[in-house]
Amino acid sequence: MSYDALVIAAHADDAETQMGGTLAKLSDGGQRILLVDLTDGEPTEFAVPGVRAKQALEAARILGVERCNLGLRDRLLQDTPETRLELARLMRVHRPRWVYTTGEACVHPDHAATVSLTRAAVFLARLGQWDRVPGAEALADQEPWIVERLFFPHCKMEPPWSDFAFAVDVSAAYERKRQALAAYTSIFAPTEQDHLLALYRAEDQFYGRLLGVRYAEIFRSAAPLVVADPTVFLPAPQG
């Protein structure tokens, strides 16, 4: 099965929080998206084991994306050779043009490990001759794959970014993002949910305000951006 984009995150709800509007927009545009959650996301504060996984599937349905979970240990996720190889294998099997993963230094150690793992896997996916690397022979079964772009959505556990590579106008898709996040009652208590979702919304609104739209999600890029058509940019309030 091939996908246009892989989104690699530590926990179910990370991708929705960071780029749920962009996911809905990509899906509406016919792009096939696979969310890869690395950990089982357990324990959750407000539900028994297994509830978060069901809610994750519901959130994916709302956004029009598919989802899988590697079942690694929440809170103790590590950058290991085995997980690097597993992610590189997924990239070679699904052949995404774009890979997204959590941006920057990361307060949460699972997020930091996710960034490190994904950067490594994008690099390893393009290499050949794995039959000559002891313990990594499984990668020899798939053709090398070169990811076109590696992008980093802003994580809302981090301070706001004043510099980012680009933003996506997610105004029209914003209700779907809200619904996808609201599915996670295992993570957000009903009272706290209102508070956190309000803060998330405020941040997306803040970037929208800066950029002249209602809601925006911001991204950094592993490599400088280049366009074939220099007329693609939306207007900005300050020019």
Give the type of residue at 26.
Answer: L
In DSSP terms, which residues pair with 220 in a beta bridge?
A: 152
Nearer to Zn ion, 112 or 182 (CB): 112
Q: Which of 3, 5, 11, 173 binds Zn ion (CB under 5 A)?
A: 11
- Among 108, 119, 237, 221, smallest CA distance to 165 is for 221
Least CB distance to Zn ion at residue 80 (A):
18
C-beta nearest to Zn ion: residue: 11
Nearer to Zn ion, 44 or 92 (CB): 44
Whether 5 contacts 99, CB under 8 Å:
yes
> Using CA atoms, how far apart are residues 14 and 182, in angstroms rounded to an integer?
13
Q: Which of 14, 74, 86, 217 binds Zn ion (CB under 5 A)?
A: 14
Least CB distance to Zn ion at residue 219 (A):
17
The span of 14-22, 88-96, 166-174, 211-219 binding Zn ion (CB under 5 A) equals 14-22
Q: Which of 5, 6, 10, 88 binds Zn ion (CB under 5 A)?
A: 10
Is 88 one of the binding residues for Zn ion (CB under 5 A)?
Answer: no
Is 42 one of the binding residues for Zn ion (CB under 5 A)?
Answer: no
DSSP class of 40: -
Q: In angstroms, what CA-CA distances link 238 with 161, 216, 234?
A: 18, 16, 12
Residues 6+ apart with CB under 8 A from 79: 113, 116, 117, 120
The span of 12-20, 119-127, 135-143, 167-175 binding Zn ion (CB under 5 A) equals 12-20
Positions in the binding site for Zn ion (CB under 5 A): 10-11, 14
